[in-house]
Structures are given as structure tokens and as C-alpha cells.
């Protein structure tokens, strides 16, 4: 039988943050600027030092973070990192003070549920709260936060999480937030991919990519990639979209695993996953994920060079 859940403060209490990468670091800065008493940890000393330079307290390990805070937010890059931070030899599970674990990562429902069960045995409640909105959203506080967990506990954290963006109540048990995030990612990654395919086809026929985006955005083909991403990252040839191709492949893979576990056919998702897999096979894993357009350019023998900026 699990231990009784630890008593939580009326609000978030003292807040911990583990994971100070591209998303975690700007979120941590927003929390500090909003006046929260924040303690942080990351395996990268340089990431810790950058927050310490702002006067933020730094823990020695995840266990230390769990001993010093009441609510811990985690933003980690993959399931293995999340499990190690939560349940490893110096993991959060050994912390004696914290009562609520908020996982902002994208690690899939099965992985999240396993961590939540182990933390519950230690008396810690889990809020499954993956995020969407990219580095810009993390920096500007415009993320979508997909919260699943005990409603009263989510409510106590609403003002804290609201510093990061808009909180959506998507479920009452850990795992449901992950499913929502994977559905979001399936649609987003598919948009990135099919837009690359369509623009390469049009460019091969001599169409101007900027004009194509204008037409698509005025018609029924518009999507998040045509409305924002390609005009921002691909046509200017910067490709600095802030997320890696390997990370994108990880996300679509988690989605396909969850679909298989649920018994839901996902033939389109599998076809999309194969395109990102082929990019990794070419050694492109560390490239920004906007380079999915480069993959199609290379295949088609074209370049998405507009004659003018898109409208």
C-alpha cells in the first residue's frame, strides 16, 4: 500500500526546478522574476551557474532539491533523464520535504505513470503537465500547460503555473496530460512534414515559396507550419527553430508507442515518423527540426528560396 500523501502548502510553497535546458532555463527565469523562492538543479554545472548568477539557490542533487522544496517542477529531455532524476540513486524520491511533483516533460504516458506510482509510494503526488509553445513560449510566458492530476492540487498550483502560460485541465490522473501532449505533437510534427513535402513539390514546378505560403494561409491548406514556422525559420534560411530533429523523432516515437498501447491505428503517424527517422539515419539528429524542409529540398533537388519575404 502507498504511504499517505504528504501534506502540501496552501500554495506552491518553496519551489524547485530540475532541468535548465532550452525550455527549463527561461521558465526558471520567469519564476524568479515573478518573485518565487526558487531552488534549481541540472546535471550541467554551467546551467546551474547561470541561474546562480541571478541569485537563485542551487541544489547539489535531485534528492537535495526534494529536501529543500515543497513543489518540484521537472523539464527534462527524454524518459531516461526523467526517471533518473525522479527515481535514481540520488533521485527526488529520496527527498523528505517535497509533496508535489509537476512533470513538464514529454515522456509518454507509460513512463509518467511509472514515475507517479513510485513517488506515490513515498507520499508524493504527481501532476502530469507537459507543455507546448517552444522556446519563445517559455521565454514569453505563453506556453500551453496540459495539467492532469488531483483537481484541488492543480488548483493550488494554478497561479504558479500561470507564470509560464495558460493552464488547461485535461484530466484527473497522471498520464492523461502526456496523451494530450502527444496528440498535439502528432498534429504539429505532421504539419512540419507535409508542408515540407508540399513546398518542395511547388518549388520544383517553379512556384515561389513565399507566394505559396501566402496562398496556403488564405486558403484551406493553412496550418501552424505555414502560418508561422516556415516564414520564420525556413524561408529566411536560419532554421533556428530551437528544437532538435532527434527530439522531434523521440516525440513522434512516444506518440506511436502510446497509440499502439491503446490499440489505435496510426498509419499517418507511422509514415511521418519514418521521414524523421530517415533524417537521423543521415546523421542530422543534432540539427534544428526546421531542417525537415532541407531533407525534402535535398530529395527534390530544389531550394525554398523566395523572391521576397512572405506576407
Active-site residue list: 181
> Pick from 149, 154, 152: which is nearest to 167 by CA?
154
Beta strand ranges found along the chain (DSSP E): 15-18, 38-41, 57-58, 71-74, 100-103, 125-128, 131-132, 143-148, 165-171
d(CA 1, CA 291): 49
What distances in angstroms separate CA 103 from CA 75, 283, 308, one per listed residue? 7, 30, 43
- Helix or strand or coil: residue 22? coil
Amino acid at each position: 500500500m502507498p504511504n499517505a500523501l504528504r501534506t502540501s502548502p496552501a500554495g506552491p510553497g518553496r519551489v524547485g526546478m530540475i532541468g535548465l535546458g532550452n525550455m527549463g532555463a527561461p521558465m526558471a527565469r520567469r519564476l524568479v522574476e515573478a518573485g518565487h523562492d526558487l531552488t534549481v538543479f541540472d546535471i550541467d554545472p554551467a546551467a546551474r551557474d547561470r541561474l546562480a548568477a541571478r541569485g537563485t539557490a542551487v541544489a547539489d542533487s535531485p534528492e537535495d532539491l526534494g529536501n529543500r522544496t515543497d513543489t518540484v517542477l521537472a523539464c527534462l529531455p527524454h524518459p531516461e533523464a526523467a526517471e533518473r532524476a525522479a527515481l535514481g540513486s540520488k533521485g527526488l524520491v529520496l527527498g523528505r520535504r517535497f509533496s508535489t511533483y509537476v512533470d513538464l516533460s514529454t515522456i509518454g504516458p507509460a513512463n509518467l505513470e511509472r514515475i507517479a506510482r513510485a513517488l506515490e509510494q513515498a507520499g508524493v503526488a504527481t501532476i502530469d503537465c507537459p507543455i507546448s509553445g517552444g522556446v519563445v513560449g517559455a521565454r514569453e510566458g505563453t506556453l500551453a500547460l496540459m495539467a492532469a492530476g488531483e483537481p484541488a492540487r492543480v488548483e493550488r498550483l494554478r497561479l504558479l503555473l500561470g507564470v509560464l502560460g495558460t493552464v488547461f485541465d485535461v484530466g484527473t490522473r497522471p498520464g492523461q496530460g502526456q496523451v494530450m501532449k502527444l496528440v498535439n505533437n502528432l498534429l504539429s510534427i505532421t504539419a512540419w512534414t507535409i508542408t515540407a513535402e508540399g513546398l518542395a513539390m511547388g518549388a520544383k514546378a517553379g512556384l515561389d515559396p513565399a507566394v505559396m505560403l501566402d496562398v496556403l494561409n488564405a486558403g484551406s491548406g493553412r496550418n501552424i507550419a505555414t502560418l508561422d514556422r516556415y516564414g520564420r525559420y525556413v524561408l529566411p534560411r536560419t532554421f533556428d527553430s530551437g528544437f532538435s530533429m532527434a527530439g522531434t523523432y523521440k516525440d513522434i516515437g512516444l506518440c506511436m508507442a502510446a497509440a499502439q498501447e491503446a490499440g489505435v491505428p496510426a498509419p499517418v503517424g507511422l509514415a511521418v515518423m519514418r521521414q524523421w527517422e530517415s533524417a537521423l539515419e543521415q546523421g542530422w539528429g543534432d540539427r534544428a527540426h526546421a531542417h525537415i524542409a532541407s531533407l525534402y529540398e535535398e530529395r527534390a533537388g530544389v531550394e525554398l528560396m523566395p523572391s521576397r519575404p512572405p506576407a
